[in-house]
Amino acid sequence: MINSQRKQFVESRILHKVSMPSQYLGGERNAIVKDHRTVKGKICLAFPDAYTIGMSHHGLQVLYSLMNRRDDWVAERAFCPWQDMEAQLREHNVPLYSLETFTAVSDFDVFGISLQYEVSSPNVLTMLDLAGIPLHATDRTMADPLVLAGGPCCQNPEPMADFIDLFVTGDGEPALPLICDMWLELREQARAAGFAEGAAGVQQRADALQKIAAELPFAYVPRFYEPEYQDGRVVALNRTRNDVPETIEPSVIRDLEGIPLPTSPIVPYVECVHDRIAIEIMRGCPWQCRFCQSTVIKRPLRIRSVDTIINAAMESYRNTGFNEISILSLSSSDYPHFEELVKRLHEVFRPLGVNISVPSLRVNETLRTLPALIGSERRGSLTLAPEVARDDMREQIRKKIKNEDLFAGCRNAFENGFDSVKLYFMCGLPGERPVDLDGIVDMAEHIAGIGKEVKGRYVRVTASVSNFVPKSHTPYQWNGMQRREYFQWAHKYLWSRRKIRSINIKCHDIDTSLLEGVLSRGDRRTGKAIELAWQRGARMDGWTEHMDAQRWWDAIADAGIDIDQQVHTQYGLTDKLPWDHVNVKYGRTFLEKEQSRSLTQLEAMADAK
């Protein structure tokens, strides 16, 4: 049931004025169009970034497939438009619409937003505003869709709390259908009684949200919690009513094998960041690296069987024709049946000319033989994430890898046709010393030297260095982030140590990293800065060419946020943290023990040379 009038208007009056118009048209292979008159509920799944990014996100395809498998629900998609399209929609008074049927987002029952990275926060406001949905959750009535958010940024939901009705942490597959069904029932009851307006309408919506919050332990409704501040920091999060839980539990899939994979993913018309089939083989990680938020929030470890993965990959290939399959997990080479899986994938897909991509490789003994196992068809670079280069710092961050495995794997890669290596490192970790930065360059140079031994010339080695941000629900959540001056010094120091021309050191933008620190470690007051930045033009700030750092710093200052206290000042182990009400597996007690062990190790490291 396509809104033909709106579609024709957009095609004839707008699309010729914008770049890459096909990203606003829908109609892709495997997109699902249902007659809205035949379903009970409608959800618009939103990704607050460009189409080319959102369509590369596996989670969107998973939830789209999940809800559309149901006869009584339809799921459609919306992405944040580029500035040229935003301007056209505003000029012609066209609301943000779904790609499948050109239905206004405000006409859906649920508007589900994936919050994947902090700097996309203003894009959420853009989408709400273009949809005609009130920006602030407390201004909405039952006539408005439920604004629901999930994703890693929900591990600290407070900075976006003013704009979201309900947050979900953990796995979306079990939570989304329950929330959607319950909201639809409550909305139909309200519709039968008549949607109230004004203050009565706001209260009608609050009563409905309370019922969800009281019944579903993974549903966090911020309006029922009031932060209490003292000396500039949160000291309590007080419930405004006693019939909602004090803390929020994560939604957890117990049996990943029982959750169907999306085997008819949508095939975009335009080139996206990832034009390939993605198959999730495992959720969770067997390791407990102290810096990693994902390994904490995705517990417990769950796997799919080799047969399930192979069958899903083949069905997806038949339904899409993509010539690359990527197996997904936090640490693919830790999958228990990894060698069997990769061999069988090659046996099945190599005759079809389909490449197998194996990202997220851990540096372990498997890496020594992996390059020969995966081959080098259409790939010339091996990507690894040692994170740090010295053994004592590895012990500190709990990433127990061995240089000999890494070097042996690189040698094997060069012998099997690979001609470059990309290494991911972090700088600014707790206790970091100049010798840790030296180690980054030394490791890159050693690998380049191995390449010369094998190939007769130095190979390209890229050391990609990110600026460490202590994230919520990690043992480092109490640590402060390094200041701008430190990162500036560290980046220059790394470059000064480089001697081999084939080595490239790429350091992440400092302003973006510091902004990530503000947004990921903030409390509810941070929402004011997000709204100010958006009002002043913040759009698509995840794209380097659109980021205006000064606009953000001005907004943060005008919102009265003390950056030094919020980002750089360490918390005490007994201090209240802005995200303490969001629970994770093992909980805060485990994190406190890990932080204490970290501090003991840091004391020993300080004496090392």
pLDDT tens figures, 157-186: 999 999 999 999 999 999 999 999 999 999
Structural domain of 429: 371-508
Structural domain includes residue 297: no
User: Does the pLDDT at position 321 exceed 80?
Assistant: yes
Helices 526-535, 121-131: crossing angle, 10 deg rounding: 60
Confidence band for 323, pLDDT divided at 50, 70 and 90: very high
CB atoms inside a 10 Å sphere around CB 373: 17
Q: How many domains does the chain have?
A: 2
> What is the per-residue pLDDT across 582-592, written as a single tens digit (0 to 9) for each?
998 778 888 99
Q: What predicted TM-score, i.e. pTM, was given to this entire model? A: 0.95
Residue ending a domain, among 216, 239, 262, is 239
Residues 235 and 381 both lie in one domain: no
- Give the pLDDT of residue 379: 56
Residue ending a domain, among 239, 256, 274, is 239
Q: Which CATH number goes with the domain that contains 383?
A: 3.30.750.200
Residues 377 and 234 both lie in one domain: no
Q: What's the rounded mean pLDDT across residues 183-208?
A: 96
Confidence band for 34, pLDDT divided at 50, 70 and 90: very high
> What is the per-residue pLDDT across 223-278, written as a single tens digit (0 to 9) for each?
999 999 999 899 999 999 999 999 999 999 989 999 999 999 999 999 998 889 99
> What is the per-residue pLDDT across 104-127, written as a single tens digit (0 to 9) for each?
999 999 999 999 999 999 999 999
- Give the pLDDT of residue 609: 54
Structural domain includes residue 590: no
Cβ-based neighbours of 164, under 8 Å, separated by 6 or more: 113, 137, 147, 148, 149, 157, 222
C-alpha torsion sign, points 548, 551, 552, 554: positive
User: Does the pLDDT at position 137 exceed 80?
Assistant: yes
Among the ranges given (195-199, 325-329, 354-358, 495-499), the one the predictor scored with the smallest mean pLDDT: 354-358
Cα–Cα distances in angstroms (integers) from residue 228 to residues 235, 270, 525, 582, in the given order = 6, 48, 11, 17
- Give the pLDDT of residue 372: 65
Per-residue DSSP letter, 237? E
* Residue type present at position 229: Y
CA atoms of 419 and 222, how far apart (whole Å): 51
Q: According to DSSP H, which parts of 41-168 are helical?
A: 51-54, 58-68, 83-91, 121-131
User: Does the pLDDT at position 342 exceed 70?
Assistant: yes
Q: According to DSSP H, which parts of 456-586 are helical?
A: 484-497, 510-520, 526-535, 549-558, 563
Structural domain includes residue 324: no
- Report which of 533, 450, 443, 554 is spatially closest to residue 160, judged by C-alpha positions: 533
User: Does the pLDDT at position 147 exceed 90?
Assistant: yes
- Give the pLDDT of residue 202: 97
| Cis status, amide bond into 245, omega within 30 of 0 | no
Cβ-based neighbours of 411, under 8 Å, separated by 6 or more: 450, 453, 454
Q: What's the rounded mean pLDDT across residues 486-495?
A: 97
Residue ending a domain, among 491, 508, 525, is 508
Structural domain includes residue 560: no
Cα–Cα distances in angstroms (integers) from residue 573 to residues 80, 592, 601, in the given order = 39, 7, 16
Among the ranges given (178-182, 296-300, 304-308), the one the predictor scored with the smallest mean pLDDT: 296-300
Cα 134 to the center of its chain, rounded Å: 25
Cβ-based neighbours of 357, under 8 Å, separated by 6 or more: 276, 324, 325, 326, 327, 379
Give the long-range contacts of residues 342-350, CB within 8 A, separation 24 or more: 342/373, 342/374, 343/373, 344/306, 344/310, 345/309, 345/310, 345/313, 346/374, 346/375, 348/310, 348/313, 348/314, 349/313, 349/317, 349/325, 350/375, 350/377
Structural domain includes residue 493: yes
Cβ-based neighbours of 553, under 8 Å, separated by 6 or more: none
Residues in the chain: 609
For residues 174 and 252, is the Cβ–Cβ distance under 8 A? Answer: yes
Q: What's the rounded mean pLDDT across residues 510-529?
A: 97
Percent of the chain with pLDDT over 70: 97
Structural domain includes residue 329: no
Structural domain includes residue 275: no
- Give the pLDDT of residue 374: 67
Structural domain includes residue 226: yes
In which residue are the tokens 């470890």 written?
301
- Give the pLDDT of residue 293: 93
